[in-house]
């Protein structure tokens, strides 16, 4: 029976060769397309982060505005 470490070592050989073998088997156009898709995915990820942060800021601003309006209303009612 093989140990877990032997299995890891066996598959590690393929891991190191994987990207190089893929690059060798692709045409320049295919490599370019793969690189372009990777870049677009990274940019989309960053755009989603920025959109989420802006949404949080806007929600925080709305909350502060509601609180300020409520305080102002309470002060007018007190006299």
pTM of the model: 0.44
Distance CA 66, CA 34 (A): 48
What's the pLDDT tens digit per position in 17-44? 677 777 888 899 998 998 999 899 988 8
pLDDT tens readout for residues 9-18: 887 777 666 7
Query: What's the rounded Cα separation, in Å, for the pair 2 and 50?
Result: 48
C-alpha to C-alpha distance for 23 and 34, rounded to whole angstroms: 10
* Domains in the chain, number: 1
What domain range includes position 40? 4-77
User: From residue 61, how far is each of 41, 53, 66 by CA, in Å?
Assistant: 30, 12, 9
């Amino acid at each position: 029976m093989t140990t877990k470490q032997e299995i890891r070592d066996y598959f590690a050989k393929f891991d190191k060769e994987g990207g190089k073998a893929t690059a060798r088997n692709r045409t320049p156009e295919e490599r370019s397309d793969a690189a372009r898709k990777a870049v677009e995915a990274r940019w989309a990820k960053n755009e989603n982060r920025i959109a989420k942060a802006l949404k949080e800021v806007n929600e925080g601003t709305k909350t502060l505005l509601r609180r300020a309006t409520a305080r102002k209303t309470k002060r007018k009612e007190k006299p």
